[in-house]
Amino acid sequence: MGDVVKALLPWEDPAGFLGGLPAGIDAQYYAGGERPALDSVEFYVPGYMGSSEVIEVVGEMPALKVIQTQTAGYENLLPHLREGVTLCNARGVHDASTAELAVGLILASYRRLPRAVKNQERGEWPSEYQELDDSLADRTVLILGYGSIGEALERRLDGFECEIVRVARRARDGVHAIAELPELLPRADVVVLLTPATAETRGMVDGKFLAQLKDGALLVNVARGVVVDTDALLAELKTERIRAAVDVTDPEPLPAGHPLWSAPNILINPHRGGASTAFSPRVARLVRAQLERYATGQPLINVVAGPPR
């Protein structure tokens, strides 16, 4: 590491965005398009939800030592990670935004807010409804993939008078192991998916998984689209036995005419989990702290692949 660290950042005014660059950092801008000189770049922050071009450019940085994502997910970068490069994710940055959206999707589905929007567009005030809306009170919410976002979700659900069941890959105090799902799923009124996209979780929510849900259960996916078998979900939705509210889909973007768009009992949000005003200040604090750590030789946080630094 030289006296000055070359960083490649996705903001045109990185110093302004970060509230000043740490000492020893020389930053340049890249978010796609014309590329600056890349030979001496040691620290790279790809653009949020960056294109394939923004990701593949890591292969043109021979001096690269660190990639710091702005997302919690990082599976799209792993194929481009060469030996000796450290990959750090944005664990914690999206906790507030994603947890808020998960609560919003539950409430919107339970209180049938999409129906209210359609009525408003038509200028209709129905004289009565045939059924009561569902309440989150007295329900059981199973959080699958209980990490920092799961903790943030539970804090926000506190006060809604619902029971929380926590599930993670391994059991720990107060958290069930994923192997216990066959016993836990039939109890759940709401299942919130927060798992990362890995070889183990891809297609995990399949026909067998969905069949274990009780009639009327709500599946909320704020994780990754590939965690859910789309064909299996469609088959269940068409029977109107369960409901779904999703921020992510497989495929994504969901193409026009895809049967998910017209399936009954589903609310689709176009992958906006992290896109809130809570994002920018949190990612700025993380990136600035990581740059300062790297420039001063302190250990980096959120290392998910490659050597620790």
Q: CB within 8 A of 131, min separation 6: which ones? A: none
34 tagged catalytic: no
Residue from 33, 97, 26 nearest 63 by CA: 26
CB-CB contact of 55 with 73 (8 Å): no
| 247/109 Cα distance (integer angstroms) | 13
> For 181, what's the count of Cα atoms within 13 Å in the CB-facing half-sphere?
21
Contacts of 222 (CB under 8 A, 6+ apart): 98, 101, 102, 105, 149, 192, 193, 194, 246, 247, 248, 273
Token pair for residue 261?
A: 């768009």
* Catalytic site includes residue 258: no
> What DSSP letter does each residue of 176-243 carry, written as one string?
EEGGGHHHHGGG-SEEEE-----TTTTT-B-HHHHHTSPTT-EEEE-S-GGGB-HHHHHHHHHHTSSE
Q: What are the tokens at 189?
A: 């009124």
Please tell me the distance from the alpha carbon of residue 84 to that of residue 62, in angstroms, as a whole number.
11
Name the catalytic one among 12, 60, 200, 252.
252
Whether 292 is catalytic is no
- The active-site residue, picked from 91, 271, 282, 288, is 271
Which residues, other chains included, contact 276 with Cβ-Cβ below 8 Å and sequence gap of 6+? 96, 97, 100, 101
Q: Which helix (H) or strand (E) holds 119?
A: helix 113-122
DSSP state of 7: E
Cα–Cα distances (Å) from 251 to 155, 229, 277, in that order, read: 31, 10, 27
Q: Of the listed 176, 224, 243, 282, which one is catalytic? A: 224
- Which amino acids are annotated catalytic? 224, 252, 271
